[in-house]
Amino acid sequence: MGASPSGVDLWRGGIVPYEINPDLANIDSIHQAIVHFEEQTNLRFVGRLNQDDYIRFSKQTRGNSNSEVGRQGGRQYVNASLNAVGVLVHELGHAVGMMHEHQRDDRDDWMIFHEDRVTDEAEQYEVEDTGARTARYDFQSVMHYHAGDPANPIFESRSGMPAPADIGGHGTLTVTDKTLLEAIYPAAPVIRRSDGEGGAGEVLHTSAIAVPGVNNTAVVVNAIRNGSKKYQLVLWRVYDTGVVVRMPDPLGSTGGKATAVTCTAVGSGLVSAMRDADGELYLISHGDAFQRLADSADQAGEVGDHHLLMLSANRVLSVCVSGSGRLLSIVWEIQSNGEIVRRFDSGTNGPAAASVSSVVVESTAGSQLVAILYRAPSRLVLSTWKVDGSSITFVADSKQSMGAGDLAHVIAAPTGHVVVVCRDASDRLLLIPFDITRNGAAVTRISGADGHAGVIREIAPVARPYGLLTSVISEGGHVLLIKWRVEDNGQIVRLGESGTQAGEGSNLSVAALPFASKVTVCTVVRNGSGDLLPITWDDVDGPGELTVV
Ligand SMILES: [Zn+2]
């Protein structure tokens, strides 16, 4: 049926790491049982990397197939002695938190139990304290035992339906089984696919974008501050299976000393921006083979934090904290030969700001509405700006509607809402949705619609078809991906997450991959050894690591 006992521990994020004893003769049946769960529920089974809690399919010398109920902590066995796929589905049902339907604490409302006819394993028929369960009792649940001899059945339905011969599961999840699993595992999690073997050497800071590659591949471009504190461009080819392979460094891929490196795609190439050794903003353009084309020389002055935003096929916006601590935005034109020309800026009298982020809210042929988030002395402020062919002008801002926060980013959700992603005053992840009117004239916080999560050290968000994905470094120093749905009214709802699939890391960036495949996003982290490491993930709805044939 659909019932789970009280106090059962579930699998974090709906992700079940597993191992299979390679000596088992029925590995195909185990795979079929896993595929059944992945096709019918939000649960995902992943080959164990180093997760502490996992199941191991084993063959035990005594007894039939069996399994503990729910996550036990550490290694737990699913005894896969019997070969039938339906039996394995039943045992996996236990492992993910399902109890026997006929042990529900309300079962006597639905059936007559002939205790005297039980000859074996009487404890498998005792009523248990039920936590979560579906409304209706399900005589055909994959978790329901058969009634035995129809002439002397162990179970009889009080209504007479079904007949004793028809009581008992058929080895597949029923509608009510699925209803329970949907209730306790409500969303598909984020599945780790693969990573760039060996990493790419020491890194101090990274920024990533992804662009289409040849033959249904993508190229993840990392603009980094390498171990020598210098600018470097590192490229990875991502195959649609999720495999990540480092590509040769392009011509002119290294530069001088740099901090705060960021990059964005522009036209058929990309532009990166950094603070150079003198603390000045410095841009480099790269062509369609990522070769270095040109730089901005000394056209920009001293900056603090900065953010680079693509406006159109030949324009980028640098949103900066100026040398005097004020918000300053500069529009640059990238000419066809890669030359970088400063066009105009927002002026020297911007508001006091300590850090910045930006996103395009609306784009037409000749102009863009841009949302710029900055950290003012006592609060975060979200502002709107109109960019046209010759000017960038302030439109409106969020006034006093946000408190203090840091690590702040702004994302445009598919619903049209703009979401501020930050770390709040208690160091917790906070997502704040805003309504921005069409011309940008009103920037309104949607009350009571925030998303919240635990204590974090770093954040990298990315817009996704369902809302947004936040890649964070948790309090314990682990990489964690969390999915958030943005509803039509702006309400932010936490969906699945990546659980414990990624190791330790810091200084992460995240890029959405520009193709439809088994991999959908790529995080790039500085791993526990200080090396640059890309990891690919499926955050949409793909199955785990098994191929469904
Ligand atoms: Zn059982």
Ligand 1 centre from 144 Cα, in Å? Answer: 8
Ligand 1 centre from 56 Cα, in Å? Answer: 17
Same-domain pairing of 312 and 377: yes
Q: How confident is the model at residue 503 (pLDDT cuts 50, 70, 90)?
A: confident
The mean pLDDT of 126-153, rounded to a whole number, is: 94
Q: How many domains does the chain have?
A: 2
Distance CA 278, CA 302 (A): 8
323 and 310 in contact (C-beta within 8 Å)?
A: no
Q: How confident is the model at residue 282 (pLDDT cuts 50, 70, 90)?
A: very high
- Domain boundary (141, 159, 184) is at 184
Q: Whole-number mean pLDDT of the chain?
A: 92
Ligand 1 centre from 66 Cα, in Å? Answer: 6
Ligand 1 centre from 499 Cα, in Å? Answer: 27
Paired with 276 in beta bridges are: 258
Predicted local distance difference test score (pLDDT) of residue 65:
67
Ligand 1 centre from 143 Cα, in Å? Answer: 6
Ligand 1 centre from 132 Cα, in Å? Answer: 17
Same-domain pairing of 41 and 126: yes
Same-domain pairing of 258 and 164: no
Same-domain pairing of 267 and 375: yes
Residue 543: inside a domain: no
Phi, psi of 82 (to 5 degrees): -90, 150
Q: Residue 196's closest CA among 539, 504, 535? A: 535
Catalytic residue among 38, 68, 91, 115: 91
Give the structural domain span for 88: 3-184
Q: Is 91 an annotated catalytic residue?
A: yes
pLDDT digits (tens, 9 = 90+) for 53-65: 999 999 875 666 6
Residue 43, amino acid: L
Centroid of chain to Cα 364: 31
Same-domain pairing of 285 and 386: yes
Q: What is the pTM of this model?
A: 0.85
Ligand 1 centre from 21 Cα, in Å? Answer: 21
Q: How confident is the model at residue 198 (pLDDT cuts 50, 70, 90)?
A: low
pLDDT digits (tens, 9 = 90+) for 391-428: 999 999 999 999 999 999 999 999 999 999 999 999 99
**Any idea what the CATH number is for the domain that residue 117 is in?**
3.40.390.10
Ligand 1 centre from 235 Cα, in Å? Answer: 50
Residue 546: inside a domain: no
Residue 545: inside a domain: no
Question: Does the N-terminal peptide bond of residue 162 adopt cis geometry, omega within 30 degrees of 0?
Answer: yes
- Domain boundary (184, 218, 251) is at 184
Q: For the chain, give the number of residues.
A: 549
193 and 220 in contact (C-beta within 8 Å)?
A: no
Same-domain pairing of 127 and 223: no
**Any idea what the CATH number is for the domain that residue 353 is in?**
2.130.10.10
Same-domain pairing of 111 and 158: yes
Ligand 1 centre from 94 Cα, in Å? Answer: 7
Helix (H) or strand (E) holding 522: strand 521-527
Predicted confidence (pLDDT) at residue 548 exceeds the cutoff of 60: no
The mean pLDDT of 453-471, rounded to a whole number, is: 95
Distances (CA, A) of 268 to 94, 212, 251, 521: 52, 10, 16, 21
Ligand 1 centre from 373 Cα, in Å? Answer: 54
pLDDT digits (tens, 9 = 90+) for 379-389: 999 999 999 99
- Domain boundary (184, 208, 234) is at 184
Predicted local distance difference test score (pLDDT) of residue 197:
72
The mean pLDDT of 112-125, rounded to a whole number, is: 92
Same-domain pairing of 147 and 271: no
Paired with 207 in beta bridges are: 223
Residue 548: inside a domain: no
